[in-house]
Chain A
Amino acid sequence: MALARNIIDIAVAAAEKEKADRIIGVNVVVGELRGIIPAQLIFCFGLMSENTLAAGAHLNLETRPLLGRCRTCQEDFAVKDYMYVCPRCEGQDIEIVSGTELRVRDIEVE
């Protein structure tokens, strides 16, 4: 619910800045590691956006997979089951390169 509130606040602020009449769509990038349940977030967004510029807007969630980079051998790989182990050299010093995103990318207005 707190996330839905923040998304609406960010989208409305951006729309007001451009003097838009209403928001039609909100595109949000969500990393796999965030553990967001899309149906729940979309439901909260729908309820909480009533009586705002974002009322009736479509919330589109673009999920990003959890990707790691081995700091030992520089291999990039998809992290499966949250196992931070390099498939090539079995190194455990892994940098997360994608999967922690949580941002409003853009909005569609008229």
Chain B
Amino acid sequence: MKINVMTDILEANDRIAAVNRQLFDSHKNLVLNLMSSPGAGKTMLLEKTAQALRGKLRLGVIVGDVETARDKERLEKYDLPVVQLNTGSACHLDANMIASALPHVDLTNIDVLVIENVGNLVCPAEFRVGEDFKIMILSVTEGDEKPLKYPLMFRESSLLLINKIDLLKYTNFNLDEAKANARKVNPNIEIVDISCVTGEGISDWAAWLSGCYKRKFGTNSLA
């Protein structure tokens, strides 16, 4: 006997993501799902972001790693609320993992919540966690062809940060080619060049964040 099912495989995840999203909205949180390969500079970006947003928007972080609390230790030095999730064998964060972390986060004291996903260019793109936007980092040491090799992640992202541009002269990374490739996969993607080492572009990234916050809530920053 045949039984018609027609159920989306990610439906259970998406349902929990919608609940997370409602909770974020009610606390006036702008939520970003930050994705990249390992070592692209996610944690260092957050260190720089904490400094750039100080006195303007209150940053909070949920960080996912397969093992260790090293990222949490790094970020807590900046006086941020940080929750570390260890995923064990899982290569991505899903909506349920985020839901389980939320009781440990004081959302009332956060304007911008960044969910730092597990370093991986594949699986994180499949799972909504309740974010407003997916954003990603591509670092110049990874190669300018990555948007074509991992199209779903670039397709799903609203913003691409191209990091480590201070290293451009030491690599064969072609910045124009990388941007053209990203736009082939996603013509609407916004792109900002940054270096977390020299600080170049960090103010542009902070302006992008402030703009998103203002568009979502109609106010500039914390009351």
Q: Helix, strand, loop or mixed for chain B's interface? A: mixed
Asked whether, in the complex, the Cβ of B9 is within 8 Å of the Cβ of A106, the reply is: no
Q: Are A10 and B7 in contact (CB under 8 A)?
A: yes
Q: Which one of B94, B152, B185 contacts A2 once the chains associate, using CB atoms below 8 Å?
A: B94
| Distance between Cα atoms of A94 and B188 in the complex (Å) | 10
Contact B8 A106 (CB under 8 A): no
Which of A7, A9, A84, A108 has a CB less than 8 Å from the CB of B2? A108
| A2: chain B residues within 8 A (beta carbon) | 90, 92, 94, 123, 127
Residue of B nearest to A24 (CB): B1
- In the complex, whether A48 has a CB less than 8 A from a CB of chain B is no
- Bound together, the chains give a CA A9 to CA B1 distance in angstroms of 19
Partner of A28, one of B9, B10, B148, B183: B9
Q: Is A6 an interface residue (CB 8 A)?
A: yes
Return the chain A residue nearest B187 by Cβ: A92
CA of A34 to CA of B18, assembled, Å:
21
- Closest A-chain residue to B122, C-beta based? A35
Among B1, B4, B5, B8, the residue within 8 A (CB) of A20 is: B1
Contact for B3 among A1, A34, A94, A109, CB less than 8 A: A109
Q: A6-B12, A82-B151 are in contact. Are A110 and B1 (CB under 8 A)?
A: yes
By the criterion CB–CB under 8 Å, are A33 and B152 in contact? yes
The answer to whether B126 and A34 have CB atoms under 8 Å apart is yes
A39 CB within 8 Å of chain B: no
A61–B10 Cα distance when bound, in Å, is 16
Q: Could you say which of B92, B122, B184 has the most chain A C-beta atoms within 10 Å of its C-beta?
A: B184
B58 at the interface (CB under 8 A from A): no
Least Cβ–Cβ distance between B145 and chain A, in angstroms = 11
**Contact in complex: B6, A104 (CB < 8 Å):** yes
With A6-B10, A33-B155, A102-B10 known to touch, is A84 a contact of B5 (CB < 8 Å)?
no
Interface size on A, residues (CB 8 A): 33
* Known contacts A6-B12, A84-B184, A35 near B152 by CB under 8 Å: yes
A9 x B187 contact (CB < 8 A): no
Check A83/B9 contact, CB under 8 A, given A2-B94, A18-B3. Answer: no
Name the distance in Å between B178's Cβ and chain A's nearest Cβ. Answer: 15
Contact present for A14 and B9 (CB under 8 Å): no
Contact call B6/A82, Cβ cutoff below 8 A: no
Q: Which of B143-194 contact A (CB under 8 A)?
A: 148, 151-152, 155, 183-187
Instruction: Please name the 5 residue pairs, one residue from A and one from B, whose CB atoms are nearest each other, closest first.
Output: A82-B151, A92-B187, A104-B5, A103-B8, A102-B9
Interface residues, chain B, with chain A CB atoms under 8 Å away? 1-10, 12-13, 89-90, 92, 94, 122-123, 126-127, 148, 151-152, 155, 183-187
Interface pairs (30), CB distance under 8 Å: A2-B90, A2-B94, A6-B9, A6-B12, A9-B12, A10-B9, A14-B3, A14-B7, A33-B151, A33-B152, A33-B155, A35-B152, A82-B184, A82-B185, A84-B185, A84-B187, A93-B187, A102-B9, A102-B10, A102-B126, A103-B6, A103-B7, A103-B8, A104-B5, A104-B6, A104-B9, A106-B2, A106-B3, A107-B5, A109-B3
